[in-house]
Amino acid sequence: MPRYPQPEREQHVSTAAPAREVQATNTAIHACRLACVYVPSLPLQLLVRRHPEWIDRPVAVVDKDKPQGKVLWVNERAYRARVLPGTRYAAGLLLCRRLCAGEVHGKEIDRGVSRLLELLWRFSPEVEPSAVEPGVFWVNASGLGRIELSLGEWARRLRAELGRDGFTARVAVGFSRFATYATARVTRDITIFENTDTEHRSAMNVRLDRLHIDSDLRNVLHKLGIHTVEEFLELPTDGLGKRFGAGAINFYKEASGQNRKPLMPAPPPVPVQTVAEFQYPEVDANRLLFYIKRLLPPLLEQLASCHQGLIEMVLEMTLDDTTQISKSVRPAEATLDTGIVLDLVRLRLSTIDLTSGVVEMTVTTHGKRINVGQLSLFWNQPKRDVTAANRALARVRTEFGHEAVVWAKSRDAHLPEASFTWEPLARTKLPWHPVVKLSGGPEETKRSRTEIIGRFVRPLVRRVFDKAVLLPARERHEPDGWLIHGFKQGP
């Protein structure tokens, strides 16, 4: 069995959930505190929720439910049978015949992380979920001295709140990111450190097989007789990456404190809301849809400014007879596409009875954080949608005929009415500004004030005068040709 690190001056607190709390000489809470909340093997807990009959058996989460599937997470019973993350499902069955395994998809894990964030925001406004290991959260515990009796009481209430929602959690409160994480991985319930020295010694005694590191790196270190964090940090840094890879260097920097990352909390979801009041009761669902179409782009822009996409839109309508109607639409995934949302709203409005008429409508949007690529698609979307214009013109041609959509094509002619001709328009295009190529060398391109890119410039348009300019008087010995403003303008 692995040896759990025991903080100094430990005291067992007799509560409904026993806690190990390192008592400080002063009851005041330290000004700078960081807590790590670890939900052991979150995908594993979600799998046991799905199969309650497995609660007393060794359980593992695999990437695919096949003999060659890779074990990702294991519970305590499977760990005691030496079924470790990284082994194959078939090898795990050889070590433990009672092993049960299943798959947990990414969307199910994301929903679990979102639910845990909602619970943790009740205890601190700054919570950072781990981007690598689901179920690990860092919580800012600074400044709680005025509202909490002690950090131990705060941690117990937090752990009890997660337990009421069906999650088993461990809490470590200290001063640094890695030390609290390593302690939360091995503690049984709650550990609170009094100073940084005690926290550092506890983290150094944590076994490597208890941490979420690469399985190949863990196996190589095990063959070399390196089992704890302290033994790993005693390795020479020269050649560490060449021998063990980049993952070993990153882990060394985190464990040694060289890579000190600031807390990057996830923003709490703030619903974006707008209210529309109607002078007369509105009974037409199509007109309501166009009202929502006008209100939706500013709401999506506010969500995009918070790096979020729309996951739900709630419509709350007050009818003329004081009846309240609340309807919501949810796209398949977080989106910033107006067309997708409006299509769902149209379907929802078609199911509502609006005989009394709507006098007030509140539109509330709820968002979820999305990646930068989706945001770039939203911000880089041009204001002129050529595809939408082609679809609209196709409807016009379908209803009125192909000759209903034409465009003016210019041609050389003397009379103005003959300088263009009408031709059928198949597809629309964005305005195009012609460019001309300079005939001179690079110096001529460099001197041009209308240079764009390379050797292509916009055409030069000379100034057009409103009135005719009189020619100067003829000289006695005039040059070849007439001059308007001298030799610089040419003959």
Q: CA-CA distance, 62 to 151, in Å (whole number)?
A: 37
Other C-beta atoms within 10 Å of 88: how many? 15
pLDDT tens digits along 266-317: 877 667 888 989 988 998 989 999 999 999 988 888 888 777 888 889 999 9
Q: What is the pLDDT of residues 366-394, one digit of tens each?
A: 887 776 555 555 555 566 777 778 888 88
Q: Is 86 left (phi over 0), alpha (psi -120 to 50) or beta?
A: left
Reference 451, options 438, 432, 441, 433; nearest CA is: 438
Cβ atoms of 369 and 308 within 8 Å: the answer is yes
Using the structure block, give the residue that is written with the tokens 């807390």: 263
pTM over 0.85: no
**What's phi and psi for 408, nearest 5 deg?**
-90, 115
pLDDT(94) > 80: yes
- Residue 137 reports pLDDT greater than 90: yes
Residue 388 φ then ψ, to 5° = -65, -35
Question: Tokens representing 465?
Answer: 């005068």
Domains annotated for the chain, with CATH where assigned, are 10-39+107-256 (3.30.70.270), 42-103 (3.40.1170.60), 272-379 (3.30.1490.100), 386-424 (no CATH), 433-491 (no CATH)
Q: Which residue has the tokens 């308007």?
A: 484
Looking at residue 9, its pLDDT comes to 35
- Cβ-contact 67, 208 below 8 angstroms: no
Distance CA 234, CA 441 (A): 65
Only one residue has tokens 């509202």, namely: 147
Beta bridge partners of 81: none
Where in 228-323 does DSSP place strands (E)? 272-282, 308-319
- Cα 289 from Cα 297, distance rounded (Å): 13
Q: Which one, of 80, 74, 40, lies nearest residue 54 by Cα?
A: 74
Cβ atoms of 39 and 185 closer than 8 Å: no
Kindly report, residue by residue over 150-197, the tens digit of the pLDDT: 888 899 999 999 988 888 899 999 888 888 989 888 888 888 888 888
CA diameter of the chain: 119
Q: What are phi and psi of 285, to 5 degrees?
A: -70, -30
